[in-house]
Structure 1
Amino acid sequence: MTSHGPRDGSLALDSSGRDGRQGRATASGGPDTGPGRRPGRTGRLRGLVPGLAVCAVAAALAIGISSLAPALSPLLVAIILGAVLVNVWRLPGSWQPGLAFSSRTLLRAGIALLGLQLLLSDILDLGWGVIATVVAVVCIGIVSTLVIGSMLGISPAQRLLIACGFSICGAAAVAAADGVAEAEEEETVTAVALVVLFGTLMIPVIPLLSAALGLGPVDSGVWAGASIHEVAQVVAAGSALGGTALGVAVVVKLARVLLLAPVIIGIGISMRRRATDTPDQTRPPLVPLFIIAFLACVGLRSVGVVPEVVLDVAKVAQTALLAAAMFGLGTGVRFATLRAVGPRPFVLAAIATVIVTGVALVGVQLL
């Protein structure tokens, strides 16, 4: 996760002992190598172990809770576990390297494996009307959120993360955008927290509104898949709508996920152009490596060369990696920080939710 620290320097060392500017352990308990000394490779790997072990336990716990309550996404449970833990207990500094690695590297690996869930033929079978609706949701959602966020005075990185998270695929899109945008740590965790909050609220709302509007199973499934933020949240809402709606909703949602790649590539190109205009600014990669891996996974799945047993294992691994990463991100969700950002990101998130939901409903009505 890209992190450039607080603008005023007041949060340089947060309550968990993490260096807010770099996300590294400090003298409060982490493996500080001291000035002029650099740890060897073995030492760096050893420093990751405590945090990675905690993330692994948290991921297993989140998956276990989700298996007992299928309506709860393991990603959602993992974020909540991390947020609760960091707000009730001072985390040891020795955990911080592993937590940072999980919320950055493991998350990107999970996003790459997400490509194995996408079968291009399934998406094309939706028909051009549904595909056009998905493209409209993503494009209008991102552009309108960026414009309204600017009017609200929200920072460019913050509004970009919210735009991607709410228009594409939730926390995974936030993290993917963070890989190429110059977002501060509190901006990223705020966007993730907003995705969790508003996406969870959508789980009962879409089925209730679908019934009130008299939508059939297919139309309600398209609406759910085109409007709800997280894949797991779509599954929860689709389950409430029935088996037919659930199948449609998941495929429509995966069509939105597929648009993650071109959006992130576009952001990367834009950021590189800005960096060229500012010589002292670091240029982000044109196409992040994890997006290349994501597209490769989509291609492998679509040509049918991946055995079913490998797909099953990859799905479990993807869930575990993303749950571990969400726990790491959750440990950055400090209530004091969320209060400090003020109401404007929450207002933007609410508006983005309404826009995405409205565009999706218009698309359904035009099908």
Structure 2
Amino acid sequence: MITEQRTTSRAIGSRRLPLAPRIGSRVAPLLPGLALTVAGVVLAVLLNRIVPAVGTLTGAILLGVAAANAGVIRPAVLAGTRFAAKQVLRAGVVLLGLQLAVSDVLGLGAPMLGAVVVVTVATFLGTRWLGARMGVPSGQALLIATGSAVCGAAAIAAMNSVSDSDEEDVATGIGLVTICGTLAIVLLPLLRVPLGLDPRTFGAWAGASVHEVSQVVATAATVPGALSAAVVVKLTRVALLAPLLAGVGVARRRAGTAVAGARRPPIVPLFVVGFLAMVAVRSTGLLPSAPLDAIKTIDTWLLAAAMFGLGTGVHLGSLRRTGLRALALGFASWLLIGVLAYAGVLIAL
């Protein structure tokens, strides 16, 4: 009898205790990689302060790629860097919604809002079409199209969480939007006077065509009076990431129904719902500016962590197989959105 009671007690204890060990067993493998990721983010922030033209997200993925190809990435850190590339990214995308209010979008006016939507959709579809004609793999073309049409690296990483593309494809897409966006910082201000654009129109053009938010700010800041229009237009493009991801999710779900037993992706990813919820929260106007500024900084760190994590999965030797075709597609997409955005802002404004 006593033996049975002791056995029962051990059984009950064994059911109560495992919760903490289970959590610890899941977290412990992540710690080395997360520590390395934090170090990468710190270095990226410092790099941005020393060389402002290199955005924090751009610097983070470059450092991740450098670490991967310098032999720094060991098997022990892979769990943590992959966690940053996927789960931390989704948290960053959710918080990105707090940078946009519905009133900002409506303030553009119907013509400009329509132009932004048309330019974004046309760039996305046009890049996919060009990619198919140029022989670029479908997954790679999808990511390049997303980055060019919406918001650069963050959009590519978010689309990757829906499409499950190869890490090399992710790195290629991010590298291309980084190159093209950096060139835009230099070239677009030089074209403003020849193209006859006033500051507001130039700002709208920059916001509608340049890839990264930081690149848009750097481009528009060179022209007094252009920054406000540029940021609002750009954030409106960012908001289009949610329906774009949902659309791809629906397409993949339908395609998955043809495979018996296949796990179908959700119609709308949960982090996209979170993004829209944060837009709704920001639109209430109840959040003071100080917390919003702090959250924006935290969001930049989260996205930088995700970019570093993505970079650590990139091995440059494997990029040579489709490098030239992807490079051509990236520049073609950049030219496409530049021309479409220019025509769109002239018509709308």
Task: Report what 1:148 is aligned to.
Answer: 130
Aligned AA (1:73): G
Structure-1-length-normalised TM-score: 0.86
State the partner residue of 1:292. Answer: 273
- 1:277 is paired with a residue whose SS is coil
1:280 deviates by 4.4
Number of residue-to-residue matches in the alignment:
328
Match of 1:201 in 2: 183
1 CA distance for matches of 2:324 and 2:278? 39
Q: CA separation in 2, counterparts of 1:121 and 1:312?
A: 19
Alpha-carbon distance in structure 2 between the residues aligned to 1:152 and 1:282: 31
Q: How does 1:86-97 map to 2 (within 5 A)?
A: 86-97=68-79
Superposition map of 1:199-348 within 5 A: 199-242=181-224, 244-348=225-329
| Counterpart in the other structure of 1:363 | 344
**Which string of whole-angstrom CA distances, capped at 9 and with x for unpartnered residues, describes residues 160-184 of structure 1?**
1111110001111111211221412
Give the whole-Å Cα distance in 2 for the aligned partners of 1:212 and 1:339.
38
The separation in 2 between residues aligned to 1:250 and 1:312, in whole angstroms, is 15
Indicate which of 29, 49, 54 corresponds to 2:36: 54
> For 2:321 and 2:263, how far apart are their aligned partners in 1?
28
**Larger Cα Rg: Structure 1 or Structure 2?**
2
What is the RMSD of the two structures over their aligned residues, measured on CA atoms? Answer: 1.5
- What letter matches 2:45 in structure 1? I
Identity %: 44
Note the alpha carbon deviations across 1:76-122, whole angstroms, 9 max, x for none.
Answer: 11111112222223422111111101111111111110000001111
Matched to 1:191, the amino acid is G
- Listed as ranges, the gaps of 5+ residues in structure 1 are 1-38
What is the rounded CA distance, in whole Å, between the counterparts of 1:168 and 1:342 in structure 2?
Answer: 22
1:176 paired residue number: 158
Aligned residues of 2:167 and 2:310 also touching (Cα < 8 A): no
Mapped to 2, the partners of 1:214 and 1:99 lie a distance apart of 47
Q: 42, 55, 67: which is aligned to 1:85? A: 67
1:75 touches 1:322 (CA, 8 Å); kept in 2? yes
Q: Give TM-score scaled by structure 2 length.
A: 0.90
Greater fraction helix: 2
Counterpart residue identity of residue 351, structure 1: A
The Cα shift of 1:144 comes to 0.7
Instruction: Quote how far apart the aligned CAs of 1:132 are.
Output: 1.5
Q: Which residue of 2 aligns with 1:21?
A: none
SS at match of 2:226: helix
Cα gap change, 1:281 to 1:341, in 2 (>3 Å):
farther
CA shift, 1:69, in A, is 3.5
Tell me by how many angstroms 1:127 deviates. Answer: 1.5
Contact preservation (8 Å) 1:169, 1:230: yes
